[in-house]
Structure 1
Amino acid sequence: MKILVCIDGSQYSQSCCEYAAWVADRLQASIDIVYVTDLRQFEVPFVADLSGSLGLQPYQSIMGELQQLEDRKATLILDQAEATLSEAGYKGEIVRIHKTGFLVDSLSDLEASCELIVLGKRGENANFAAEHLGSTMERVVRASKRPCLIASRAFSPVEKVLLAYENVPSCNAAVEYFCNSSSFSDVELHLASVAKKDNESALLSELKEVEDKFSSRGINVVCQMLHGAVAPALADYASEKGIGMLAMGAYGHSRIRHLVIGSTTTEILRDCKLPTLLFR
């Protein structure tokens, strides 16, 4: 079993490694850490202007120097990630990967042998765009076929997990994961749906079915029906109960359905301080 950790040198990279070490210990998994050099940094107008004013040979020399600097940066970032994993107590195998291009373009190959992807909620510009989600995170979650653990800014041990449930395939995939995975067997699992007045009865029935499914596997869950706007209701419940991680489907067909482009899940990911485990 393998975990893919996507790093970029931001503060979130440290958190990614710490959460990856925490999960890897539970799954007895190895870890691949990947850093991808963004080609766009070599295509800025300044570089383009240099090519016209200095001629081809000096331009190629400058580009070579920039690429060497980027290679050194990649090495340092991978070194730091490896050190963070070690400091977090991870003692397993680590594979270092450095690619050039865009992470999402390499994703199908990178995730082929992995069970879980860990990446930060925001990237290297996190301090300048605190109100926005990272564009790379958005693309990866939309493209990936694996569960994605979206790391929060700082690591905190997880003792309670909240599964935000609705009866759609992505959420049912999350239910199957928690039923069959040993990685969260010692955490307190909470199951919650957010109801409107016109669908509360149906949701209660669905919650009971899921609760019974967990019980049949010997898993006790704390089941709760919430009311109000989805994001605030989940956030308030998580704060009240001391939840350490949120789990939910990446796509659905109701008010918890939109990831990235839709408003509700985007709001949850943007405003929630918790790491979030997303399922397809």
Structure 2
Amino acid sequence: MKILLCTDGSLYSQVSYEYTAWIAMRMDVEIEVLYVTDLRKEKAVRSPDFSGSIGMDAYQQLLGKLVDIERDRAKLNHKRAKYILQQAEAFLSSREVDRIILTHETGFLVDLFHKFEGNADLIVLGKRGETADFATEHLGVNMERIVRASHKPCLVTPREYKPINRVLLAYDGGENCRKALDYITKYPVFSDLDLHLITIATKDKKTAIKHLKAASEIATSANFEPTCQLLTGDPEEKMQKYVENHDIDFLIMGAYGHNRIRHLVIGSTTAQMLRSSHIPVLLFR
């Protein structure tokens, strides 16, 4: 199994190292740590053509200074990337992880992401990034774009790490949730944990019961002893209350739906849970 760990060196990224190490200690994995220097950080502020107003000689001197600034900035960004990747490697190595690849790219993470996603089985990234302290209720822009675009499972990690004992799968019988259940039963990372299964019925309670029963049978056949519960009402509210009331440490659910209009008007269940959750969320598309 290969994990693509995206980092920007922020507090949230450092917590993602801890969760990645937790997975690595429970199964054989290779970890590629990816840091992307934002292309905009490589560019000095471009000066408009002032040659007519300040004179050609002065203008040439200004251009020379801008070139020097750009070169120095590139060197600084390279050192920063090297430091962040080395810090990630040191942390993972301290948790006895030995299969680590360090990768530095320059560009835009969202654009470069697919270049590395294809060889990965799991994507890990922090819930927010470098500007976390400036907008406490917002999701990281890169995180949300990657989760929406990725075809691989994405583990979104919170601000703080906590040991994992109880896992919740929100199951609705859809393709994304079936992938999630297959993942749980296939990989040993969840094998000895307390598994909870919930289905939230919004209209058709009979179908919801059928889905929950089917999920329970699959989990039981994989040697789990799942705690199953059928809930009714608003999905975000019921899911969040269940997490709090049962001290859930790890949430698994299907990712963003396709109803873009609904997302624009009231926000998707995925986005709402990511905003409100203080535990890691594993998303499947």
TM-score by length of 1: 0.91
Matched residue, 1:7: 7
Residue 115 of structure 2 corresponds to residue 109 of structure 1: yes
Matched residue, 2:83: 76
User: In 1, Cα distance between the equivalents of 2:49 and 2:40?
Assistant: 16
From 251, 261, 264, give the equivalent of 1:246.
Answer: 251
SS at match of 2:133: coil
User: In 2, Cα distance between the equivalents of 1:180 and 1:79?
Assistant: 32
| Matches for 1:9-158 after TM superposition, within 5 Å | 9-43=9-43, 47-49=45-47, 54-87=61-94, 89-158=95-164
User: In 1, Cα distance between the equivalents of 2:49 and 2:171?
Assistant: 55
From 240, 265, 270, give the equivalent of 2:275.
Answer: 270
Structure 1 residue runs without a partner (length 5+)? none
How far residue 222 of structure 1 moved from its aligned partner, in angstroms, is 0.8
How far residue 193 of structure 1 moved from its aligned partner, in angstroms, is 1.6
Q: Is the 8 A contact 2:257 2:268 kept in 1?
A: no
SS at match of 2:106: strand
AA paired with 1:67?
A
**Runs of 4 or more above 6 Å deviation:** none
How far residue 108 of structure 1 moved from its aligned partner, in angstroms, is 2.2
Percent identity reads 44
Structure 2 residue runs without a partner (length 5+)? 51-58
Cα deviation, 1:150-199, whole Å, max 9, x if unaligned, reads 01111111111100111211111101111211111011111112222x32
Cα deviation, 1:192-214, whole Å, max 9, x if unaligned, reads 12222x32221011111111122
Distance verdict in 2 for CA 1:107–1:195, change over 3 Å:
same
User: In 2, Cα distance between the equivalents of 1:195 and 1:78?
Assistant: 45
User: In 1, Cα distance between the equivalents of 2:175 and 2:43?
Assistant: 41
How far residue 218 of structure 1 moved from its aligned partner, in angstroms, is 2.5
How far residue 253 of structure 1 moved from its aligned partner, in angstroms, is 6.9
User: In 1, Cα distance between the equivalents of 2:2 and 2:192?
Assistant: 21
User: In 2, Cα distance between the equivalents of 1:60 and 1:247?
Assistant: 49
Q: Is the 8 A contact 2:5 2:31 kept in 1?
A: yes
SS at match of 1:48: coil
Q: Determine which structure has more spread, i.e. the larger CA radius of gyration.
A: 2
Matched residue, 2:192: 186
Residue 225 of structure 2 corresponds to residue 220 of structure 1: yes
Residue 223 of structure 2 corresponds to residue 230 of structure 1: no
User: In 2, Cα distance between the equivalents of 1:132 and 1:275?
Assistant: 16
Cα deviation, 1:81-110, whole Å, max 9, x if unaligned, reads 1222233x1332211100001122222221
Q: Is the 8 A contact 1:158 1:245 kept in 2?
A: yes
AA paired with 2:22?
W
Matched residue, 2:55: none
Cα deviation, 1:118-166, whole Å, max 9, x if unaligned, reads 0000000011111111110011112212111001111111111100111
How far residue 258 of structure 1 moved from its aligned partner, in angstroms, is 5.9
AA paired with 1:200?
K
